[in-house]
Amino acid sequence: MADVLPLVEARLRTALGEPDARAAVTFLGTDRIEVLRFQDDSREGAVVRYATLGMSAQPMSDPTATIADPVAGPRAELVLSVRSGLADTDKVLRPLAVLAASPQVEGVIVAPGASLDVGGPLWPGAPFTSVLVAEPGGLVEDLELDAPLDPVRFLPLLPMTPNEAAWKRVHGAQALQERWLTQGTDLRDPSRKSVPLD
């Protein structure tokens, strides 16, 4: 069976350009996870994007299954976009790798609408300790693989403040995203305040 990761990296390069930095993290008992950084200066206000590479090497399996299927199951990588130069966001590499390793370590399936908590600030001084997994398909298109493999989905991550994460647990992901939209929240601002939740 062909290695999925070279195809995933090629798709990331096609969508985001050449990475200007990459870091690798290996956790005990897991495959190596890389995080690639892409600088996008093409639009007004430079944006830096961080994409994981390695999460999709294995399919995510149902935590209730007694044996993990080595072939079938959803595959994904994570993509985080923030405005560059406003915070020390490069320190997000390790937290992102931890999130990407969570399907192997904790047996979870990462899907749109899920909250992922990193247990501390995403980067030094960040007001965010968790992320909301958004719907794929906007920035990087799904990567179709040969049957019977599921496609690789590139899941955008939206940073959440602790208040937003608590509100989302009660009201749901859709309600939080609508609140962000109606308030005109800049979700790429690395130092933004929590959206009003009254």
- Specify the pLDDT at position 1: 41
Q: What is the mean pLDDT of the chain?
A: 90
d(CA 144, CA 151): 4
Q: Look at residue 63 in the predicted model and tell me its pLDDT.
A: 65
Residue 103: is the preceding peptide bond cis (ω within 30°)?
Answer: no
Provide the pLDDT for residue 117: 93
Other beta carbons within 10 angstroms of residue 135's beta carbon come to 13
pLDDT score at 106: 84
Query: Which ranges constitute the DSSP H helices of 52-115?
Result: 93-106
Q: Are 52 and 9 in contact (CB under 8 A)?
A: no
Burial class from Cβ neighbours inside 10 Å (0-12, 13-18, 19+) for residue 112 reads middle
Asked if 187 and 197 count as a contact pair (C-beta separation under 8 A), the reply is no
Which of 34-38, 69-73, 142-146, 161-165 is predicted with the least confidence, judged by mean pLDDT? 69-73
Q: What is the pLDDT of residues 26-44, one digit of tens each?
A: 877 778 899 999 998 766 6
Residue 66 reports pLDDT greater than 80: no
pLDDT tens digits for 80-129?
A: 999 988 889 999 999 999 999 988 888 888 999 999 999 899 999 999 99
